[in-house]
């Protein structure tokens, strides 16, 4: 039995991972530590709240004492660190929270893990600190360049990416300097259930259903490599189980798409879903698909994001060879499954649309 701390477990990837882990390690104690910022959502954990092995702690990584208390109280031996400010657009408008949460918060967690595990007698399972990071630390790729590998030099473009790069360096330094048993995974763009609708895929789904414009930055020709959340969870679990302390593993989806193509695929899936189920037209009367129009009619090109990285992609060969990682989900199938999840879980995202924090953010986006 392991005692697991999942930071950011009420966020998109953290919630997916919490469900993934509890479903496969039912005897483990799982503690979610989450500040419930705008992107954290306790209802994403509703299915595990009654599990006696699960505990939710409302806490902020920026509070070193709170971090030390939960680590000590629960005698944690596996940290899976998802908590982060993650949205590039927000980091451009207001970088401060990115430095305090992503850099200082990660350091608080590292320090607490070091102090707890230092000189701790050996147990059945060795302690591990797994840090979840992003491909954005490597900067942008030109069209002809091969995907980033673990040896690519860091060259972050946005304040978000720079804060994650700084956190990665701290994690590595704690391994080198203090021998903390760390692993890092850098993943490509993830999508799937529970994703906050500021990110491209859920934003497009929700706008399609509400008949609102689909804002494509610049010419829509930016390329992202997409990885389904379930594949990401498997990659992180493999890095924990089979990864070597001190190592980094890139978790790529081997699935590069231009944004325009991704948005068109979603439009087609929505048109198909409405054609196959007349009830959808009644539930979402403002959707073009409910009015015999093509969903692509909503595509709207808007001014580009400052410093927008044209392309990123990571090479997952190391994770494939050393961990047995294989991102199995077909992109179209993953998008369809994600669309189904948003169609089935309308109350989950309607509560976000009704939240003043979302309303003010979206209003600011469209007043630029
Ligand atoms: P996003 O989901 O914000 O992730 P990231 O910035 O981490 O890659 O954006 C994915 C891509 O989609 C990125 O190239 C920006 C673009 N994008 C749009 O064109 N319009 C939008 O409204 C959003 C949110 C993103």
* pLDDT value, residue 104: 98
Catalytic-residue membership of 135: yes
Residue pair 228/253 in contact by the 8 Å Cβ criterion: yes
Ligand 1 site residues, Cβ closer than 6 angstroms: 88, 189, 199-200, 203, 215-217, 222, 224, 259
Going by their DSSP bridges, the two strands 256-258 and 189-191 should be labelled as: unpaired
The percentage of the chain sitting over the pLDDT mark of 90, rounded to a whole number, equals 93
Convert the pLDDT of each residue in 66-108 to its tens digit.
Answer: 999 999 999 999 999 999 999 999 999 999 999 999 999 999 9
Q: How far is CA 72 from the centre of its chain?
A: 27
The residue whose CA is least distant from atom 21 of ligand 1 is: 200
Q: Is the pTM of this model over 0.95?
A: yes
Q: Where are the beta strands (DSSP E) in 155-242?
A: 182-187, 189-191, 214-217, 223-228
pLDDT confidence bin for 297, thresholds 50/70/90: very high
Q: What average pLDDT does this structure show over 210-216?
A: 97
Structure tokens belonging to residue 106: 């990660």
Instruction: Write the DSSP symbol of residue 53.
Output: T
How many angstroms separate the alpha carbon of residue 324 from the centre of ligand 1?
30
pLDDT confidence bin for 366, thresholds 50/70/90: confident
Q: Is the confidence at residue 115, as pLDDT, over 70?
A: yes
Quick one: which atom of ligand 1 is closest to the CA of 365? 22
* pLDDT value, residue 119: 84
* pLDDT value, residue 65: 98
The residue whose CA is least distant from atom 9 of ligand 1 is: 200
CB-CB neighbours of 125 under 10 Å: 12
Convert the pLDDT of each residue in 23-47 to its tens digit.
Answer: 999 999 999 999 999 999 999 999 9
Using DSSP, state whether 355 is helix, strand or coil: coil
pLDDT confidence bin for 363, thresholds 50/70/90: confident
pLDDT confidence bin for 331, thresholds 50/70/90: very high
Give the C-alpha separation, 85 to 101, whole Å. Answer: 7
Residue pair 265/347 in contact by the 8 Å Cβ criterion: no
Calculate the alpha carbon distances from 258 to 103, 143, 219, 313 in Å.
31, 11, 10, 12
Convert the pLDDT of each residue in 245-290 to its tens digit.
Answer: 999 999 999 999 999 999 999 999 999 999 999 999 999 999 999 9
Q: Is the confidence at residue 205, as pLDDT, over 70?
A: yes
Calculate the alpha carbon distances from 338 to 137, 201, 272, 333, 335 in Å.
26, 9, 14, 9, 5
CATH code at 3-196+226-256+309-330: 3.40.50.720
* pLDDT value, residue 163: 98
The residue whose CA is least distant from atom 4 of ligand 1 is: 199
Marked catalytic residue, from 138, 160, 174, 312:
160
* pLDDT value, residue 362: 87
Structure tokens belonging to residue 239: 């890095």
Per-residue exposure over 44-58, b if at least 16 CB sit within 10 Å of its own CB, e if not: bbeebeeeebbbbbe
* pLDDT value, residue 125: 86
pLDDT mean across residues, the chain? 96
* pLDDT value, residue 368: 59
Residue pair 145/315 in contact by the 8 Å Cβ criterion: no
Q: What average pLDDT does this structure show over 193-207?
A: 97
- Which residues, in sequence order, are CB contacts of 83 under 8 Å at separation 6+? 7, 8, 11, 14, 33, 34, 35, 61, 101, 105
Marked catalytic residue, from 34, 60, 135, 256:
135
The percentage of the chain sitting over the pLDDT mark of 70, rounded to a whole number, equals 99
Give residue for tokens 């989950």: 348
Q: Is the confidence at residue 306, as pLDDT, over 70?
A: yes
Of 88, 81, 8, 18, the closest CA to residue 41 belongs to 8
Q: Is the dihedral of CA 221, 264, 20, 350 positive or negative?
A: positive
How many angstroms separate the alpha carbon of residue 207 from the centre of ligand 1?
14
Give the C-alpha separation, 232 to 220, whole Å. Answer: 25
* Helix ranges restricted to H, 179-244: 200-210, 229-242
Rounded to 10 deg, the angle between the 331-344 and 200-210 helix axes is 50
* pLDDT value, residue 186: 98
Give the C-alpha separation, 64 to 230, whole Å. Answer: 31
Provide the residue ranges of all domains of the chain, joining segments of one domain with +: 3-196+226-256+309-330
- Nearest 10 degrees: CA dihedral of 106, 109, 114, 116? -170
Quick one: which atom of ligand 1 is closest to the CA of 305? 15
**Concatenated DSSP letters for 283-318?**
H-TTSGGGGT--GGGGEEEEPPPTT--SB--B--HH
Calculate the alpha carbon distances from 74 to 2, 77, 128, 224, 237 in Å.
11, 9, 15, 39, 21
Catalytic-residue membership of 136: yes
Residue pair 192/16 in contact by the 8 Å Cβ criterion: yes
How many angstroms separate the alpha carbon of residue 96 from the centre of ligand 1?
21
210-213 long-range contacts (CB < 8 A, ≥24 apart) are: 210/284, 210/286, 210/287, 211/284, 211/286, 211/287, 211/288, 211/298, 212/298, 213/298, 213/299, 213/300
């Amino acid at each position: 039995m392991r005692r697991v701390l999942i930071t950011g477990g009420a966020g998109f990837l953290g919630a997916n991972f919490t469900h993934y882990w509890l479903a496969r390690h039912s005897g483990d104690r799982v503690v979610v530590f989450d500040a419930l910022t705008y992107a954290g959502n306790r209802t994403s954990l509703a299915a595990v709240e009654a599990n006696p092995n699960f505990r939710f702690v409302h806490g902020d990584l920026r509070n070193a004492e709170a971090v030390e208390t939960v680590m000590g109280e629960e005698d944690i031996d596996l940290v899976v660190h998802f908590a982060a400010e993650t949205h590039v657009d927000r980091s451009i408008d207001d970088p401060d929270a990115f430095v305090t949460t992503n850099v200082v918060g990660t350091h608080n967690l590292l320090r607490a893990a070091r102090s707890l595990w230092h000189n701790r007698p050996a147990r059945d399972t060795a302690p591990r600190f797994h840090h979840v990071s992003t491909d954005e630390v490597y900067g942008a790729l030109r069209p002809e360049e091969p995907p980033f590998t673990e040896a690519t030099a860091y060259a972050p473009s946005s304040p978000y990416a720079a804060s994650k790069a700084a956190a990665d360096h701290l994690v590595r330094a704690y391994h080198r300097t203090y021998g903390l048993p760390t692993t890092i995974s850098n993943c490509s763009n993830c999508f799937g259930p529970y994703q906050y609708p500021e990110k491209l895929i859920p934003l497009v789904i929700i706008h399609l259903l509400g008949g609102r414009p689909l804002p494509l930055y610049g010419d829509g020709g930016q390329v992202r490599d997409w990885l389904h959340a379930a594949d990401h969870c498997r990659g992180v679990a493999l890095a924990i189980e089979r990864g070597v302390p001190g190592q980094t593993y890139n978790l790529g989806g081997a699935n590069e798409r231009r944004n325009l193509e991704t948005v068109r695929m979603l439009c087609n899936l929505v048109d198909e879903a409405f054609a196959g189920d007349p009830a959808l037209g009644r539930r979402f009367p403002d959707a073009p698909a409910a009015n015999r129009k093509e969903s692509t009619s909503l595509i709207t090109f808007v001014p580009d994001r400052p410093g927008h990285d044209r392309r990123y992609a990571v090479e997952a060969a190391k994770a494939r060879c050393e961990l047995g990682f294989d991102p199995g989900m077909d992109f179209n199938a993953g998008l369809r499954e994600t669309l189904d999840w948003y169609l089935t879980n309308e109350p989950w995202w309607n509560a976000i649309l009704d939240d003043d924090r979302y309303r003010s953010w979206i209003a600011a986006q469209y007043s630029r």
